[in-house]
Amino acid sequence: MAQSHSEQHAPADCMKGKRRKITASTPLTVLIALFALYMQVSTYPPYADFMSRVDGLIYDLRMKWTLSPHPPLEPSIVIVDLDEASLQAEGRWPWPRTKLAQLVERIFDAGAVLVGLDIVLAEPQENPVDALTALGEANPDRETVEWLAAQRDALDGDQQLASALGKGEAVLGFLLHTGGNDAYGNLMPSPVTLVDKSPRDFGLAPMAGYTANLSAFQENAVGAGFVTVFPDADGVVRRVPLVLPFGDNFQPSLALQLARQYLLSDRVEVLSAVSGETLTITGIKLDGSTVPTTGAGEVLVPYAGKARSFPYVPATAVMRETVDAASLEGAIVIIGTSAIGLADLRPTPISSTFPGVEIHANILQGLLHPEVLVQEPDWAPGASVLALMLIALIFILIFPRIPSQWIPLVGIAVSLGVIGLNVLLWTNARISLPLFAPLFLAVTSTAIFTLEALRSEFRERKKIRDSFSNYIPEQHVARVLESSRENLLEGERREMTVMFADIRNFTALSENLESRQLKQLLNDYLTPITRIIFNHAGTIDKYVGDMVMAFWNAPVDNPDHADDAVQTAMELIAETARLAPVFAGYGINDFRIGIGLNTGEMNVGDMGSEY
């Protein structure tokens, strides 16, 4: 019965899919997990900025891929646009206050319930009567001066605009500054309520100055909110503050003020909680409902779609009454601009030139319909830590126990699972979680384990190749390595040819040889014998002293096994004649070999104990 040599069994056993001895992958994965964790929670500016930028890019991609505009919601939010066409029709900006007054009056006349101005009116406009009076001072005409004085109020654009604002409910916009403490105009009383707290208690940097509207406008408006927008580190507007600290209180944003007025809410309450030793903002309470925010009072902008997802109406169409008044009836109107020259276009995840006025519209809609808001929950850092630990644990426990070819597939599956869960929370629960750190850990760990497994497999295959090359021809080693374990190692019954060849009376002939001479003699004999067997596709089964056992048609199929065996025997006889002088040198003059051949069914396979 043909059996494999014991050395054949050991390397073949490495192909059984048992646990691999991966030396560096596990500690490297732990280090990567710790590094990703540190990057995720670090406040060190270089790391924090890097994570912010990368997570921001992933956030933008996720938003673009999952952007699904929802149907129009009530109330309708309409943008009256100071667009290029309006500037061409009505003149360059800034317009006379009389034109703005006309615009506001027409909007209220059309039935708008609330008007917000994404415009800051901080400086008075010169009254034309004052200019004409100054021209006439050199040659005063009492009647003319008296007539001009009588027309002063009628020609006062600021007063006309103030009067127009008072014909309905208008909310003004103002600016808050981070640098400098300049103050222009007067801030209106803030509706934000703080109970036994101050903005300083939250550890937030207060705004240094402001640019507000003229008192005449504020006296006729129902409120005011800041229009200041702070982009992320990469310049993209993804989140905006609903409140900003100034002085001893928080100031509300334009969108928050509009929502408060529409909901007839008397106040805005800042909700807070203690995180560690720091007091943080947890949300904004408005009309009995709570809007979750970040610790700085920010919300992610719930972009309803691409630019112009809200109805846009050219300002000139409103002023010339060429717009359908029904489009403004019952609507909240925000006056702003999409004109390039007025520099209110912002980079956003949706577009690099997104109208700033529509950002306020998106926030307002989110405040009125909290179900469209996306949350950045306060438990997000803890969830990221848990995800990193879980991914590292999965890889450390599973990867060393699976075949190497499964590692990339499992790694891809885990990475897709991380992405899928992140997107699922985004689309179904409106929750935004960081994605880069867990995805970085999954991808890099998969790559490390794959490379280590390939390196380990390469070493094992080399070991197998080196071992097999001692027993079968080199040209067949690759075919053996490509064979499946079942075909290679399982026992089977097949027709084969087996050959035994040994030296006649070798025991008696070698008794007078020293050990060193005997070893050299056997090497001189077995080396050419083995080469001949290999040249005819034979497999060495074993050496027993001077005896060689070989067979054909295993482990590689050979339909000509009998012919190859006979050809081998003939060449062995010829090689014996060539080796006769070599043996004579060792004192063996009667050098002959005996050869036995048999063809028939045999049991062949990897047989023996598991050791």
Q: Distance between CA 204 and CA 245 in Å, rounded? A: 7
Residue 402 CB burial class (10 angstroms; 0-12, 13-18, ≥19): middle
Name the pairing type of β-strands 77-81 and 332-336.
parallel
pLDDT value of position 151 = 61
Length of the chain as a residue count = 611
Asked if 278 contacts 270 with a C-beta cutoff of 8 angstroms, the reply is no
SS3 state at 297 = coil
Tell me the whole-structure pTM to 2 decimals: 0.73
Please name every residue paired with 192 in a beta bridge, in sequence order, or none if there are none.
Answer: 268
Which pLDDT score is estimated for 14? 36
Dig out the tokens for 148 from the structure.
Answer: 């001009």
Mean pLDDT confidence for 279-290? 88
DSSP 540: E
- What is the rounded distance in angstroms from the CA atom of residue 202 to the CA atom of residue 353? 34
Closest CA to 172 of 125, 111, 113, 114: 114
Spatial CA neighbour of 226 closest among 260, 271, 256, 183: 256
Look up residue 220 and give its amino acid: N
Task: Give residue 464's identity as a one-letter amino acid code.
Answer: I
- Tell me the three state secondary structure of residue 181: coil
For 121-179, how does the pLDDT look when each residue is reduced to its tens digit (9 = 90+)?
Answer: 999 988 776 666 655 555 556 666 666 665 666 678 899 999 999 999 999 999 999 87
CB 139 within 8 A of CB 77: no
What pLDDT was estimated at residue 479? Answer: 61
Predicted confidence band of residue 6 (pLDDT cuts 50, 70, 90): very low
Residue-wise pLDDT for 65-81, tens only, equals: 988 877 778 899 999 99
At 532 the pLDDT is 94
Instruction: Report the alpha-carbon distance of residue 490 to residue 481 in Å, rounded.
Output: 15
Q: How far apart are CA 463 and CA 448, in angstroms?
A: 23
Give me the numbers of helices (H) and strands (E) for the chain, helices first please. 20, 23
User: pLDDT band at 268, cuts 50/70/90?
Assistant: very high
Write phi, then psi, for 24 (nearest 5 degrees): -110, -20
**Mean pLDDT taken over the chain:** 85
> Residue 149: its pLDDT value, please?
61
pLDDT at 143: 65
In this predicted structure, which of 289-298, 375-384, 492-501, 539-548 has the lowest mean pLDDT? 375-384
How many CB atoms sit inside 10 A of residue 503's CB?
A: 23
